[in-house]
């Protein structure tokens, strides 16, 4: 599932600079197939050290939609707008809402409130302690007397 769509991205870019409904560069198909997945992979790579990805919480998705759309818009701006004007300057608030917010999340200065943090889970998750430890009453060796492998008086 992508964090943003072509519509989210095109809402940021004036249609005189890039219109996904007409034959423009990049095309909306290229944005959907290439640019957005690359941006979302970058977002997931950054967040994977803190959260289980892909992020699925509704509040977190709303935040990531803005980040993904702004980061994709910067890439589109570099292709669409720069080829006509030679000006590579995109609106700087896209960085504030995109890359800088992502960095703030990774640095711990912001958080995704309803995203599952790494290490969170339930007792029934694979690898959870309750799944790997059996109750002592199920231990087939519980009636066998245990001996110390190395008695305290043994000197090495």
| Token digits of residue 49 | 């050290």
Structure token digits, residue 80:
């669409």
Q: What's the pLDDT at 8?
A: 94
Q: Report whether 18 contacts 24 (CB < 8 A).
A: yes
Q: Render pLDDT for 132-144 as a digit per residue (tens, 0 to 9).
A: 555 556 667 777 7
Residue scoring higher pLDDT (42 or 145): 42
Q: Is 25 helix (H, G, I), strand (E, B) or coil?
A: coil
pLDDT tens per residue, range 76-114: 887 766 666 666 667 777 777 788 899 999 998 998 989
Q: Closest Cα partner for 119 from 133, 129, 107? A: 129
Answer whether 62's CB lies under 8 Å from 12's CB: no
Judge whether 13 and 73 are in contact, CB under 8 Å. Answer: yes
Averaged confidence pLDDT in the chain: 80
Over residues 150-156, the mean pLDDT reads 76
* Residue bearing tokens 């001996």: 147
Render pLDDT for 114-132 as a digit per residue (tens, 0 to 9). 988 886 655 555 545 555 5
């Amino acid at each position: 599932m992508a964090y943003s769509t072509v519509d989210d991205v095109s809402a940021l870019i004036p249609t005189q600079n890039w219109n996904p409904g007409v034959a423009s560069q990049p095309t909306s198909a290229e944005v959907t197939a290439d640019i957005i997945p690359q941006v979302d992979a970058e977002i997931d790579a950054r967040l994977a050290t803190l959260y289980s990805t892909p992020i699925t919480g509704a509040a977190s998705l709303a935040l990531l939609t803005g980040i993904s759309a702004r980061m994709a818009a910067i890439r589109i701006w570099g292709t669409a707008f720069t080829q006509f004007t030679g000006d590579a300057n995109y609106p700087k608030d896209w960085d504030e809402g995109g890359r800088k917010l992502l960095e703030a999340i990774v640095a711990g200065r912001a958080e995704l409130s309803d995203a599952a943090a790494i290490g969170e889970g339930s007792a029934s998750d694979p690898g959870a302690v309750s799944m790997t430890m059996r109750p002592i009453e199920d231990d087939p060796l519980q009636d066998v007397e245990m001996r110390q492998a190395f008695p305290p008086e043994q000197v090495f």
